[in-house]
Amino acid sequence: MTENIFLEDVRTTAYRFCMFFIWYAAGACATSLVPSIVSLSRILWVPLIPLFGALTFVTRQPAIVADLSFALSVVGIIIVIGMAELIARSPRGRKVSRYVAMRTLPIYLLHAYMIVLLKSRGSACPN
């Protein structure tokens, strides 16, 4: 039983790592596009929030079999870039963002494995 949980978690974490890496690589390699996305997101990010909510709601419906994860990612990235520009204008926002960014990758890569290891050891880790 524990082995199945661990293998499933390895697959999920590997998939998430690849998805995050794709978006990271796109951002790192397409830096010339970022100003265009920022100017576009400045106009669109607030109106896109209801669209993101609607897409999320639709994908949660059992009758919907279409994979809208790419559309959700694109809309979400435009929203986040617009919000990031707003946060970047604030010195406090930049400080907090820097603090979080320095800790994000290790958290994403390790937390799922740590939870599974704790569960597999029979610790008091909640489900």
**10-residue mean pLDDT series, the chain (127 residues):** 68 79 79 77 83 87 78 86 84 88 74 72 55
pLDDT value at residue 92: 93
For the entire predicted model, the pTM comes to 0.54
pLDDT at 122: 62
Burial of 36 by CB count in 10 Å (0-12 exposed, 13-18 middle, 19+ buried)?
exposed
Burial class (CB in 10 A: 0-12, 13-18, 19+), 53: exposed
